[in-house]
A = this chain, B = another copy of it.
Amino acid sequence: MQPFEKSEYLARIEKTKQAMAKQGIDTLVAVDPANMNYLTGYDGWSFYTPQAVVVGERLPEPICCTRAMDAAGAKLTTFLKADSIIGFPDHYVQSTERHPFDYLAEKMRERGLDRGTIGLEMDAYYFSPMAYEALKAKLPNARFVDSKGLVNWVRAVKSPREIEYMSQAARIMERVMRVAVDAVEPAVRQCDAVAKIYAAQVAGTPEYGGDYTSFAPMLPTGIGTSTPHLTWSDKPFVRGEATILELGACRLRYHCPMARTVYLGKPPQKLLDMEKVVLEGTQAAIDAAKPGATCEDVEAAWRRVIARHGVVKESRIGYSVGLNYPPDWGEHTMSLRPHDKTVLQPNMTLHVIPAIWMDDWGVEISECIQVTDRGAKPFCDFPRKVFVKA
């Protein structure tokens, strides 16, 4: 039933323990849902209540702690033995008197995990200051340190099976973008186009069903293209306006994202000029993404191209991508930007998205790539351009 062999989970846990040893961490409390999934297979939309996977130096296998009603889901989706699954009682949920991590701390103490150095994911989603304070108060004999994205970094290089799932997501992504480009038409309500996008994302292909993506479809339109991260309204698309489609596809929680820009009518020359710059810069970045190059080298290749055209962009042009849960398909490790000296290795996977936002317009064209021995390879086969629909 699990998407990976048990041996793959065990290898991930072993790598995690090695990284823990290097960082002097005895016990790791992973709260990031993607890290929980990576280590145990746990999968459910239950991250709206506190939960964690605990990896202990001497624990035979990780502990998975969820709300009691979700412990049944942990039994169904993980390889863990029943006594490694802990459900906190429901009166801990959204209580003003007690926190679920009071309960987790108690269970950790019972297992002798209340001493030594405990690594916490200090900047993870779904780990609140209150949860942090609960652990500190209830485990007074432990020393707490930031894990610095320890499991995220273990995830950075993908296994062949992970690449396979991202490739399946890519097949879905190609269909989704085709549907999306076709759906953006004058007088069509944005919501009706997005309905088709969602349907394509989830139906997937006849071979591979799609999963929910960690971002909702984003499709700023008109003046909205000057900013990312706007979703949609029930207003119609308008002739003479651009729409940015920043979409994803997901297979078994592994993502392949893609952005394209659609213009309804005759695009202004500045948009067409910018398209050329972005395409040239994107190709330069992809060509630079070879094993041994650093993340900042990749960005520099892009920057050289756009500088020649007098274009300036301050924000990063990409990030590691793969396994995740809402609200982000990025993995919070590598960023393609100055000062990121991470050395690229085969089977790292990145979303190269050098978006340009101007005062009242913008362009996005992106590729999700796999670093291979011979250089970067886009996951998708889809025309890389601004789609002009007359």
Contacts and interface: CB of A to CB of B under 8 A. Distances in A.
Interface of A: 43-48, 68-73, 75-77, 89-91, 93-94, 96, 99, 120, 122-133, 146, 148, 189-192, 194-196, 198-204, 208-212, 215-216, 218, 223-224, 226-234, 314-316, 319, 326-328, 330, 332, 335, 337, 339, 357
Given A191-B209, A314-B68, A327-B47, A76 B130 contact: no
A303 to B, nearest CB: 14
Contacts of A75: 227
A378 to B, nearest CB: 24
B212 A332 contact: no
A283 to B, nearest CB: 23
Given A76-B230, A94-B335, A315-B68, A130 B123 contact: yes
Which of A125, A228, A319, A327 has the most chain B CB atoms closer than 10 A to its own CB? A327
A294 to B, nearest CB: 15
In the A-B complex, the 7 residue pairs with the smallest Cβ-Cβ separation, listed nearest first, are: A209-B234, A191-B209, A72-B227, A198-B198, A129-B132, A90-B315, A195-B203
B122 A128 contact: yes
A339 B196 CA distance: 45
A314 B89 contact: yes
B327 A45 contact: yes
8 contacts: A68-B314, A91-B337, A94-B332, A123-B128, A192-B203, A194-B202, A198-B201, A209-B234
B203 A191 contact: yes
Contacts of A127: 128-129
A164 to B, nearest CB: 15
A356 to B, nearest CB: 11
B132 A132 contact: yes
A202 B208 contact: no
Contacts of A198: 195, 198-199, 201-202
Given A122-B129, A132-B129, A204-B191, A216 B212 contact: yes
Contacts of A191: 202-204, 209-210
A47 B43 CA distance: 22
Contact of A199 (B199, B218, B232): B199
A313 B109 CA distance: 29
Given A316-B90, A332-B94, A128 B128 contact: yes
A190 B209 contact: yes
A45 B216 contact: yes
Contacts of A335: 93-94
A223 B76 contact: yes
A129 B118 CA distance: 15
Contacts of A46: 228-229
A330 to B, nearest CB: 8
Contacts of A203: 191-192, 195
Contact of A125 (B128, B148, B211, B357): B128
Contacts of A218: 45
A226 B74 CA distance: 11
Nearest to A144: B129
B128 A337 contact: no
Contacts of A314: 68, 89-90
Given A122-B128, A212-B216, 16 more contacts: A47-B327, A69-B229, A70-B228, A72-B226, A72-B357, A76-B224, A76-B227, A122-B129, A122-B130, A129-B132, A191-B210, A192-B203, A194-B202, A198-B201, A198-B202, A211-B231
